[in-house]
Structure 1
Amino acid sequence: MTAIRTAAPRFGAAPVALPLTLVVALTGCGAQIEESAQADTVTVNRCGEEVEYTTPQNAVVYEGGSADKMFALGLTDHVHGYVMPPANPPVTESPWADEYAQVEFLSDDLLNKEVVVDAGADFVVAGWNSGFSDERGITPEILDDLGVQSFMHTESCYNYPGFPERVEPFEGLYTDLERLGDIFGVRERADETVAEYRARVEAVREQAPEGDPVPVFLYDSGTDQPFTAAAQVPPNDIIRFAGGENIFGDLDERWTQVSWEAVVEAAPEVIIILDYGDQPAEEKIDFLTTSPHTSELPAVRSESFFVLDYNEGISGPRVIDGLESFAEYLREHAAEAEDTEGAA
């Protein structure tokens, strides 16, 4: 039972009330913000560290999750450009394709200091170890020394050196929208957006199948050893909110490598395929179907595969769409299982 689904985007676009130093004119679905001569400053947490921000005007965003958060808050005019490695799905497939078209594509490389400096950025949005990196020489501290403000996905903060912050992945999304709302003076818009997302999540949880949670394995990549989602990334919440159980949800990590022996022992009944990069989802399914490690897994025998788009699996507004699509799939899976048991 293989499913490839794309949920229709449903994002709020209500007008917002802003401080007197800002004038808001709504056009289309985004808020156009015109700054007064003096920019506002506000203190907001960057992971566990309090940071004073001046309203950014020239942001660089890394990957779809960062861009989507800005676009969802109507902040397109504050985004100079985006860095999008080639493994990411095309931005033309985004519900914010029009917004992407209004800003500059800066690089298809990993985030680096040179592209930030060359863009004249005054603000960078990325995750810790998924954008910002000690090894590649681009960290919030380095950018602070350059006079460039930075913001990290709260979901990635649990092991941020010196200033860790631990939240559940979906709560990290809500926190980011609220904090960005404070930084840019659009907190009312942020609160309305978060309220909509919470309501959509609660509706899913209320419809979760009854009974024991279905064991679910997320397959990212890897042949010798699989790469998968542990407790600290959005797919863990997607799985449990929909009524499943992530077979590696007890690992206190983000994306991690495990063993095929552990996968076999957990006997997943559903496999989520994370779809990105040069290897199509069907190739991943073919591998799992033919590999001696996995060909006898319950999920493989019943062809219970669900394809999750990359941007529905990383911290960003599209995880709500991913949750709704997977939840629908899991409800259908549960119904088919009941029919099979009834016919036996």
Structure 2
Amino acid sequence: MITRSPSFSRPLVASVVVGMLLLAGCGAQVEEGAAAVRKVTVKRCGQEVEYITPRRAVVYEGGSADKMFALGLTQHVHGYVMPPANPPVQESPWAAEYAKVKFLSDDLLNRELVVEAKADFVLAGWRSGFSDQRGITPAILDGLKIQSFMHTESCFNYPGYPERVPPFEGLYTDLERLGKIFGVEDRARSLIADYRKRVEAVQARAPKGDPTPVFLYDSGTDKPFTAGSQVPPNDIVRLSGGRNIFGDLDARWSEVTWEAVVQAKPEVIIILDYGDKPAREKIKFLKEFPTTSKLPAVVNNRFHILDYNEGISSPRNIDGLEGFAAYLRELRK
């Protein structure tokens, strides 16, 4: 039994886009007044930072862009950087919003790109966008007078200013803080309330009894790369009534051993579907690899495909939760 999280419906996308256009219009009217030079202090991980309303945001990966678009902030986005792992933006619920902003690069985020774009704000994650090794960090950008914000989900081991919250709470925190930075607090509160309501509905229908052991397979053949406790798939599994077999791993994405996977006997495998590493290839490998071919999930063909943007910090985490929860409920009937 192989499932994929249900795709969004065209009527829903149309209504979302119309709503965003209306919000964008309201935003434009507000910015003609005093809000044009609005200053607020907001936490960036554990650090208090003063922000002036950004005009030329550069966003890295789908999760960053989707948070901005969900908040109706398309007019504040100059462009996006989208590495090959991200599925095509044309498949996004916010495809129409992507079309309104500039595609900057399919490479990793870097300082030269941000400077060349004349960005006044950069949104990315710690070590998933920002990087000491590549010379683009919030501290470096501060020195260049370029504002930045990090996904709270990625802050648990941020040097100097760590902040630890469960991944879904990190999503809500980001929306709240971005709402404050851009002056759309009401929109942020509305989104968060809707997402919490959808999560509560999933929890209310979660199967009773012992949680189903679940393994998330990201990539890797010599050693598997998987989800620890600090990334959204851990909450997706937990809130659906499952148990991430590596949920006690205090990490985000991490390399483990095949021996540990075999010992855990996962009954379901979530496949993270990349743009450059298709799910079908990963499933084929797991079925043919002697070490994994006898796993209960593989023998029973219990694979669930999670879109890349449902697995990283993004408003689409809620879609990923609902899709996997429906899959688990069907299995446990």
TM bucket (normalised to shorter chain) is over 0.9
Q: What's the CA shift for 1:126?
A: 0.1
SS at match of 1:158: coil
State how far apart, in whole Å, the 1-side matches of 2:300 and 2:284 are: 14
Which residues in structure 2 correspond to 1:288-303 (within 5 Å)?
288-303=286-301
Which residues in structure 2 correspond to 1:146-157 (within 5 Å)?
146-157=144-155
Match of 2:21 in 1: 28
2:239 to 233, 241, 253: 241
State how far apart, in whole Å, the 2-side matches of 1:133 and 1:177 are: 23
Residue deviations 1:248-293 (CA, integer Å, cap 9, x gap): 0000000000000000000000000000032321110011011111
Match of 2:171 in 1: 173
Assess, with a 3 A threshold, how the Cα gap between structure 1 residues 11 and 316 changes in structure 2: closer, same or farther.
farther
Q: What's the CA shift for 1:13?
A: 8.2
2:284 to 271, 286, 294: 286
Assess, with a 3 A threshold, how the Cα gap between structure 1 residues 329 and 237 changes in structure 2: closer, same or farther.
same
Q: Which amino acid aligns with 1:2?
A: I
Q: Which amino acid aligns with 1:309?
A: D
Match of 2:82 in 1: 84
Match of 1:5 in 2: 5
State how far apart, in whole Å, the 1-side matches of 2:4 and 2:317 are: 15
Q: Which amino acid aligns with 1:80?
A: H
Q: What's the CA shift for 1:87?
A: 1.4
State how far apart, in whole Å, the 2-side matches of 1:220 and 1:329 are: 19
Which residues in structure 2 correspond to 1:252-267 (within 5 Å)?
252-267=250-265
State how far apart, in whole Å, the 2-side matches of 1:29 and 1:248 are: 43
| Structure 1, gaps ≥5 residues long | 15-24, 336-344
Match of 2:140 in 1: 142
Is residue 74 of structure 2 the alignment partner of residue 72 of structure 1?
no
Percent identity at matched positions?
70
Q: Which amino acid aligns with 2:131?
A: S
Assess, with a 3 A threshold, how the Cα gap between structure 1 residues 269 and 29 changes in structure 2: closer, same or farther.
farther
SS at match of 1:159: coil
State how far apart, in whole Å, the 1-side matches of 2:86 and 2:19 are: 30
Q: What's the CA shift for 1:12?
A: 12
TM-score (norm 1): 0.92
State how far apart, in whole Å, the 2-side matches of 1:249 and 1:54 are: 38
State how far apart, in whole Å, the 2-side matches of 1:8 and 1:196 are: 17
Q: Which amino acid aligns with 1:254?
A: R
Q: What's the CA shift for 1:31?
A: 2.5
Match of 1:58 in 2: 56
SS at match of 1:312: helix
Do the aligned partners of 2:85 and 2:277 also contact (CA within 8 Å) in 1?
A: no
2:330 to 316, 329, 332: 332
State how far apart, in whole Å, the 1-side matches of 2:14 and 2:168 are: 18
Match of 1:116 in 2: 114
Do the aligned partners of 1:219 and 1:274 also contact (CA within 8 Å) in 2?
A: yes
Assess, with a 3 A threshold, how the Cα gap between structure 1 residues 11 and 188 changes in structure 2: closer, same or farther.
farther
State how far apart, in whole Å, the 2-side matches of 1:325 and 1:308 are: 8
Match of 1:49 in 2: 47
SS at match of 2:63: helix
Assess, with a 3 A threshold, how the Cα gap between structure 1 residues 96 and 297 changes in structure 2: closer, same or farther.
same
Q: What's the CA shift for 1:179?
A: 0.2
SS at match of 1:102: coil
SS at match of 1:28: helix
**Aligned residue pair count:** 325
State how far apart, in whole Å, the 1-side matches of 2:268 and 2:22 are: 37
Larger helix share, 1 or 2: 2
Assess, with a 3 A threshold, how the Cα gap between structure 1 residues 160 and 191 changes in structure 2: closer, same or farther.
same
Residue deviations 1:154-198 (CA, integer Å, cap 9, x gap): 000000000000000000000000000000010011000000000
Q: Which amino acid aligns with 1:5?
A: S
